Each structure stands twice: as C-alpha cells, then as structure tokens.
Amino acid sequence: MTYPIRPIAESEWPAFAGVLSEGFNWTPHPRQTERWKAQTEFDRTLAVFDGDTMVASTSVHSFTMTVPGGRLPVAGVTAVAVLSSHRRRGILSSLMRRQLADVRERGEPVAALYASEAPIYGRFGYGRAAGQMSFTIARHGAAFVPGAPVDASLRLRVVKPAEVRGEYERLFGSVAGSRPGLYDRNAAFWDAILADEEFDQNGAGPLRSLLAEDDDGVRGYALFRIKSGWDGDGMPDGEVRLQELFAADPAAYALLWRGVLDRDLVTRIVAHARPVDDPLFALMANPRQLRPSWSDELWVRLVEVDRALESRAYAAPVDLVLEVADEVCPWNAGRRRLRADTAGAECKRVDEEPDVTLDVAALGSAYLGDGDLGALHAAGMLGERTPGAVRALATAMAWQPKPFAGLVF
C-alpha cells in the first residue's frame, strides 16, 4: 500500500509535532515545540498520510556547511519519524526517496543528518562521515603538558550568555570555515542554543559562560552548566556539563579549557560532543584522563556524486576511475574519472575500467575527510581493481582537521 506524501502547511504544525513527539517517545514542553517550529522550513517538510491522519514526518534545514577546502549548500535532514502503528511498511523508504529527489531538484549536492540509530540510513546511501568524542574528566590532576600555549594578553571574563549573544555569533562565524561539518546557524538555532528555561537545564542550573578575550576583542567562548552537589562526607561534588567551546586560536582554546577544568567545587567535567581530534588530547599531560568514548556523528549522502566530488579540495593528487553503485539515486550509478589535486577537482563520466568499485555510502563516509576508505576496504566493503588505488583515494580524501558538526539538528 502506498501512502500520499506532501509538504505541510504551517497550520498543520500541531499534527507534525505530534508525530515527532510520539515517534521519539518524547514529551516536549510547548515552548520547546515552538522553538522547533521556528527552525522549521515549511516548504521543506514532508508528511505521510493514511486517510486524514498524519503518520510520518521529515524535514530539511537549508544549511551552508564547511567541506574540505570550502563551503557548500547542504540539506540537513531532520525530524524523521513514523508512527508505531505504521512502522516497517516501507514508509521511511518512500520518504527518503522523495526527499532525495527534492534535494536534487533544489541543487544541493550533499545531504547530511544525525541518526537516532546507526543501522537506519546506510541503506539510503548515507555513510558514517564524522565521529564525536564524549569526555568525562576528573578535575583533580587534569594538568596540561609543559609548553601548552599561554598568551599573557588573554584573560577570561565571566558573562551571562543572554547578554553576549552577538559575541558567540561573531566568534562562531569566524571559526565555522575551519572545520568540515560545521554549519551556519541562523537566529532560530541560536535561540535554541541559548535557551535557558528550567526544562532546558536538566537539573544542572542556568547556562554559564566564559569568554577569552584581549584588548582587541573576543577570541573564544565556553558555554556550560554546573550541577552542584556535595557528597555524604561534605566534600564538594559538582559536575560541569560543557555544551560547547570554540576558540579562534590555540592560546584562547587552552585558556578556556583551563577555565572549565579549574572550576572550584567541581569533581567532574563532562563534555558529550567533542571532535575526534580535539586538541585537548594533545594538551593533557595524561590524555587517558579524558576517558574518551566514541560515537558516530554526521552521516553524509552524496546526492549528486560528480558535483559533490568537484566541490571539495583534496589533500593529495589523485587520478582514478571510480565505479559507484547507487540503488536509491540511480542517476549517480556508473563510472567516472576523478582527477583532483590540492587546487581543485574534475569528475567526468567515462567508460574505462574502474580502479575502485564502491557504494555511494562509502564515498559519503569519506566526503568530509574522516578517511574511512582503508577500513572499508579491509572489511571487504569496496573493491580495488588497481593495486594501491584505495590507498591513493583514501589519502586524497582524508582531511585535517577531522569533521565535526557540533550541534544536533
């Protein structure tokens, strides 16, 4: 049975929000729902109907995202849910196909998403493109290595987040191009980042912040909450929950982390979303103290393979014929020669024998520079017809720094 799919009108928002909260087993506060609504581009929503009942949802944010060597329009896929009464009837599959066709028509060569569960999106051509680290750091003994950068002109300032929003926006805007995966945040996103009602706090008190600045202005910021507490022996047992920390240079970065790590009356610093190559690994005298745990972050789908491959920079010269399999977006299937170097790339359809055969999801996983292709080859998930070709492709597509979006959408 097929069910009709269409974008919703703004007046249908309550039903759309209802599908989302039901699908995610979540009961948002009405004002959280209002924030969602403010972030929603109604012409990019899609809903599925069974008769008059809305039974599934998805939507897209029109992002500008950093990719290796540049910035690109990227479809930020979000709000995917199917009511439990209608699950496993192929509804998500039909939504994904329709959405990818819409994204293509819109001219965005790449789609990206956060997955609630990792097994869902590979079948639709999304590859695991970025990871994130979660740190739980014991405060005591969290020393830096000798030689960690210090800049005497820098100082920390305690601020109220709502009063310095413009500083966050400026600083983030200045660093967003420095790491693949970071995407521009519009006003509705900043409203959500700085939201600070009781239901936003999860028992950890108001949003707090430190700025790192010198006489010329702000060079970085940290946003966090503190769950304060005392143990049964009367010892302080507070927990810093870091929301985000961005800095324009290493000295500001180090100073902000010191500001977070040295907080009095705190025993733990918990940071759930950090890049896999967080410079903090290099700053810590004892990096084991970060107790890092890994999870997947962004999943990336090349909607127009040739245009996507031509739209990024490459870390090393490469000249290879790639044969791409793509069941969901058949316009991508076939052979192309990728000729690229650090200055630019050209991707042209050819009939020649391929050097590498791979699924579009494999290319998506490597697109932002996390360089998973060697592991996929070792796992038997892509084919190498010319010895050394996978290594050459993986080397060219790898990037520093590693990708990281830093904010769930």
Ligand X SMILES: CC(C)(COP(=O)(O)OP(=O)(O)OC[C@H]1O[C@@H](n2cnc3c(N)ncnc32)[C@H](O)[C@@H]1OP(=O)(O)O)[C@@H](O)C(=O)NCCC(=O)NCCS
> Which positions are catalytic?
121, 409
User: Which positions touch ligand X (CB under 6 A)?
Assistant: 23-24, 80-82, 87-93, 115-117, 119-120, 123
Q: How far is the CB of 45 from ligand X (least distance, A)?
A: 15
Q: How far is the CB of 93 from ligand X (least distance, A)?
A: 4
85 a known binding residue?
A: no
91 a known binding residue?
A: yes
Write out 209-269 in H/E/C secondary structure: EEEEEECCEEEEEEEEEEECCECCCCCECEEEEEEEEEECCHHHHHHHHHHHHCCCCEEEE
Q: Of 95 and 212, which CB lies nearer to ligand X in the complex structure? A: 95
Q: CA separation (Å) from 352 to 1, 368, 382, 388?
A: 42, 27, 18, 18
In whole angstroms, what is the distance from residue 126 CA to residue 167 CA? Answer: 35
Q: How far is the CB of 304 from ligand X (least distance, A)?
A: 23
- Token pair 């249908």 in the structure block, residue: 12
Q: How far is the CB of 113 from ligand X (least distance, A)?
A: 6
Q: Of 85 and 386, which CB lies nearer to ligand X in the complex structure? A: 85
Q: CA separation (Å) from 385 to 48, 323, 382, 392, 394?
A: 43, 10, 10, 13, 15
Q: Of 130 and 389, which CB lies nearer to ligand X in the complex structure? A: 130
Phi and psi at residue 216, to the nearest 5°: -90, -10
145 a known binding residue?
A: no
In whole angstroms, what is the distance from residue 357 CA to residue 376 CA? Answer: 12
Q: Of 92 and 256, which CB lies nearer to ligand X in the complex structure? A: 92
34 a known binding residue?
A: no
Question: Which residue type sits at 312?
Answer: R
Q: Of 22 and 169, which CB lies nearer to ligand X in the complex structure? A: 22
291 a known binding residue?
A: no
In whole angstroms, what is the distance from residue 141 CA to residue 233 CA? Answer: 21
88 a known binding residue?
A: yes
Q: How far is the CB of 26 from ligand X (least distance, A)?
A: 10
In whole angstroms, what is the distance from residue 262 CA to residue 137 CA? Answer: 11
Q: CA separation (Å) from 279 to 106, 141, 151?
A: 37, 18, 17
324 a known binding residue?
A: no
Helices within 73-219 (DSSP H only) = 91-106, 165-175, 187-193, 198-201
Q: How far is the CB of 314 from ligand X (least distance, A)?
A: 30
**What's the burial of 68, exposed, middle or buried (CB within 10 Å: 0-12/13-18/19+)?**
buried
Q: Of 64 and 85, which CB lies nearer to ligand X in the complex structure? A: 85
Binding residues for acetyl-CoA: 80-82, 88-93, 116-117
